[in-house]
Amino acid sequence: MGVSGSGKSTLGAALATEIGCAFLEGDDFHAPEAVARMRAGIPLTDEDRWPWLDRLGRALAERLQAGRVAVAACSALKKAYRNRLRMSVPAPVAFAFLDAGPEELLRRLTHRPHHYMPPSLLDSQLATLERPQPDELAIAVDACRATADSCKEILAWLSRLPHSK
């Protein structure tokens, strides 16, 4: 989880490969209307996000019901969004928060070709962001670290969780 440009897709795909499970790209679950809004530089509202979170949550739940796990990349900017995903999945859902400074995020967004999310929406994402709190099953990871190092850190954290034993 994290704002656009934090590296969710890159790290999520690498983590899924390490675990040997499916990777769900949260961007693929947005409605075409939501993508059009973002492409036009219009921030999404909660009403835009609820159906998207529900679609992603259902996909995660379906994987679990089939006896599989999955890694998903999803901004999950607010605690309410993370709770919405947790309520959709009949098992513990852990979040890795990719944290980076605004300057680095803007640099990444400015140099990211072929993506609908314009750099102009970064400020609205940062304003919406509610960092995970101690009562949440989440770890903060430096988004500027090497992907392989972040994977190792997350896997070590996951291995220490009660549900992973």
34-45 pLDDT per residue, tens? 999 988 989 999
Query: At residue 115, does pLDDT exceed 80?
Result: no
DSSP letter, residue 97: E
Query: At residue 165, does pLDDT exceed 50?
Result: no
Task: Give this prediction's pTM.
Answer: 0.91
Domains present along the chain, CATH in parentheses: 8-158 (3.40.50.300)
First to last CA, the chain: 24
Q: What is the pLDDT of residues 120-162, one digit of tens each?
A: 889 999 999 999 999 999 999 999 999 999 999 999 999 998 8
Q: How far apart are CA 93 and CA 19, in angstroms?
A: 15
Which distant-in-sequence residues (6+ apart) come within 8 Å of 13 by Cβ? 23, 71, 73
CB contact at 8 A, 38 and 121: yes
